[in-house]
């Protein structure tokens, strides 16, 4: 039992986790830096030292060649010789020393270089092919190789002057041995600290993602009350905000689904109950009474029409929200379209119980989907009819001003309270607020209108005052 418990307590490392991945990359980066340090300090140290010394000698030689005609030239030679530990000599073409001279050298006029050596050192410089050359050579009396700078200075008193700079290339083997020991200690310490710090940083960086993953699992299990925390990292914080937004939208969708099921169930159950009740009444009571039978049959027909309207609205809503139908934009005359829809209503109402007043002005040609826009305008007119009072007059305006076409559907009906205006575009708003049976409509008409207008990118809205009527409108650009 104890052995099993110990096995259960062992922490399993998930090699695919983001924390392990961060730690692995940080560790590899630490090792890479240490290897690079070793290469630079040990392997390439000799080459680096050699190139830096050559660069230094070349720089001094080029500078002194430029200062040849300066009165302080000899002083500068002495200065660089003492400061840099270099041998700097000015000689003539025969190898005799010109600078620097002691009082003995003036008497002796020493020759510091034979002609063969001079020709070898100043190859290419003597014949004027180049101003100077730098090379490494070994002298018999010196253990270590030397860097030599040989350059042409110019003429003075008809004599050609040349500059010769020599500096020993000291070995760095002892320095390398010391560096190896120091680097060994530094590398071990750096590796240990690097692994510890990489673990700390990887844990810190991965923590918000790990917490986000846990929260997402809670969301996936059905807990929609979860909240993704805000963090200091911009990208992860943006992801957190997006997930919070998605969670809120998902919660809304679930609530809408519940409301939709409740409302549709209510709207289907009520007319079906009425149809069944009136059918039984025809069978049991009014079967032989023509007047009552006709009344009951008309009620059944009205309820069947109501069910058909609800089903059609649900089908339209499904098509719009699922984007099953493409929007076919074309040039249409909005004025003509509105007049055709008015004619449909007038034919459906032969008793002229409603008066439709149309007003058009300007260029009313726009780009829109004729079928969808007709449906939206039809729903607005039908909505105005449903909520009109005794004064059954509906005004329809299509006015173009400054290149903007505005459609208005105006009724003198019951109006809308100001605190409800923002909610009328929601599906089943009226029914969801109170599950009593609505007297008119399915509660989906204005929601379908809103979706069609947004599909067209129209500016739309409603102006209303309780008890005085409403004006529904949309605006879009006119086209030629």
369-418 pLDDT, tens digit each: 998 898 889 889 988 888 887 778 899 999 999 999 999 999 988 888 88
Q: How far apart (Å, rounded) are the C-alpha atoms in residues 373 and 357?
A: 20
Phi, psi of 128, rounded to the nearest 5 degrees = 85, 10
Output the pLDDT for position 7. Answer: 47
Cis status of the peptide bond prior to 100, with omega within 30 of 0: yes
Which helix (H) or strand (E) covers residue 361, if one does? strand 355-361
Cβ atoms 427, 262 nearer than 8 A: no
The top-level CATH class assigned to 326-477 is alpha beta
Bridge-based pairing of strands 355-361 and 393-401 is: parallel
Residue 36 has pLDDT above 80, yes or no: no
Q: How far apart (Å, rounded) are the C-alpha atoms in residues 81 and 64?
A: 12
pTM for the predicted model, two decimal places: 0.46
Q: What residues have CB less than 8 Å from 332, skipping those under 6 apart?
A: 365, 366, 367, 368, 370, 373
**Partners of 146 in the β-ladder:** 137, 168
Output the pLDDT for position 183. Answer: 67
- Beta strand residue intervals within 15-145, DSSP E: 87-92, 97-99, 132-137
Q: Which two tokens stand for residue 319?
A: 């098509």
Provide the phi-psi class of 139: left if phi over 0, else alpha when psi is between -120 and 50, else beta: beta
Q: What is the mean pLDDT of residues 253-257?
A: 70
% of the chain at pLDDT higher than 90: 18
Cβ atoms 134, 57 nearer than 8 A: yes
Angle, in degrees to the nearest 10, between helices 290-321 and 234-284: 160
Question: Was domain 234-318 assigned CATH 1.20.1540.10?
Answer: no
41-45, 95-99, 187-191, 452-456: range with lowest mean pLDDT: 41-45
* Second-level CATH architecture of 67-168: 2-Layer Sandwich (3.30)
Mean of pLDDT over the chain: 79
Provide the phi-psi class of 53: left if phi over 0, else alpha when psi is between -120 and 50, else beta: alpha
Q: What is the mean pLDDT of residues 78-84?
A: 88
In degrees, rounded to 5, the angle at the alpha carbon of residue 211 between the alpha carbons of residues 206 and 214 is: 125
40-72 pLDDT, tens digit each: 666 666 777 788 888 999 999 999 998 888 888
Banded model confidence at residue 2, pLDDT cuts 50, 70, 90:
very low
Cβ atoms 401, 362 nearer than 8 A: yes
Banded model confidence at residue 428, pLDDT cuts 50, 70, 90:
low
Cβ atoms 162, 93 nearer than 8 A: yes
More confident position, 150 or 305: 150
Domains of the chain, by residue range, sit at: 67-168, 234-318, 326-477
């Amino acid at each position: 039992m104890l052995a099993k418990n110990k096995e259960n307590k062992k922490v399993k490392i998930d090699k695919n986790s983001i924390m392990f991945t961060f730690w692995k990359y940080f560790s590899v980066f630490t090792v890479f830096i240490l290897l690079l340090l070793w290469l630079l300090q040990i392997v390439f140290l000799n080459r680096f030292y050699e190139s830096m010394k050559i660069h230094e000698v070349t720089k001094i030689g080029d500078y002194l060649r430029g200062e040849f005609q300066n009165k302080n030239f000899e002083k500068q030679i002495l200065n660089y010789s003492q400061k840099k530990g270099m041998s700097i000599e000015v000689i003539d073409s025969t190898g005799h020393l010109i600078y620097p001279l002691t009082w003995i050298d003036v008497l002796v006029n020493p020759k510091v270089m034979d002609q063969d050596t001079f020709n070898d050192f100043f190859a290419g410089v003597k014949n004027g092919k180049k101003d100077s050359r730098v090379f490494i050579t070994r002298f018999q009396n010196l253990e270590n190789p030397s860097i030599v700078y040989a350059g042409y200075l110019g003429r003075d008193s008809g004599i050609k002057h040349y500059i010769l700079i020599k500096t020993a290339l000291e070995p760095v083997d002892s320095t390398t041995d010391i560096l190896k020991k120091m680097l060994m200690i530094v590398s071990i310490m750096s590796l240990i600290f690097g692994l510890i710090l990489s673990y700390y940083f990887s844990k810190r960086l991965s923590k918000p993602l790990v917490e986000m993953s846990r929260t997402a699992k809670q969301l996936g299990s059905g807990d929609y009350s979860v909240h993704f925390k805000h963090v200091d990292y911009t990208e992860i914080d943006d992801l957190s905000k997006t997930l919070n937004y998605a969670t809120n939208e998902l919660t809304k969708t679930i609530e809408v689904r519940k409301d939709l099921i409740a409302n549709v169930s209510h709207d289907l159950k009520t007319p079906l109950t009425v149809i069944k009740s009136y059918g039984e009444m025809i069978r049991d009571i009014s079967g032989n009474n023509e007047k009552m039978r006709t009344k009951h049959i008309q009620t059944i027909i009205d309820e069947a029409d109501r069910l058909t309207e609800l089903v059609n609205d649900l089908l339209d809503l499904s098509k719009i929200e699922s984007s099953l139908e493409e929007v076919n934009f074309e040039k249409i005359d909005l004025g003509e379209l509105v007049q055709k829809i008015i004619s449909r209503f007038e034919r459906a109402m032969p008793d002229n119980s409603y008066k439709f007043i149309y007003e058009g002005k300007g260029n009313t040609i726009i780009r829109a989907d004729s079928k969808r826009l007709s449906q939206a305008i039809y729903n607005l007119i039908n909505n105005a009819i449903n909520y009109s009072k005794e004064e059954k007059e509906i005004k329809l305006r299509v006015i173009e001003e400054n290149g903007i076409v505005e459609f208005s559907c105006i009724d003198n009906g019951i109006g809308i309270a100001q605190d409800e205006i923002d909610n009328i575009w929601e599906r089943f708003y009226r029914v969801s607020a109170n599950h009593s049976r609505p007297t008119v409509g399915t509660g989906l008409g204005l929601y379908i209108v809103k979706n069609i207008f947004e599909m067209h990118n129209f500016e739309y809205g409603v102006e209303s005052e309780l008890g005085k009527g409403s004006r529904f409108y949309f605006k879009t650009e006119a086209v030629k």
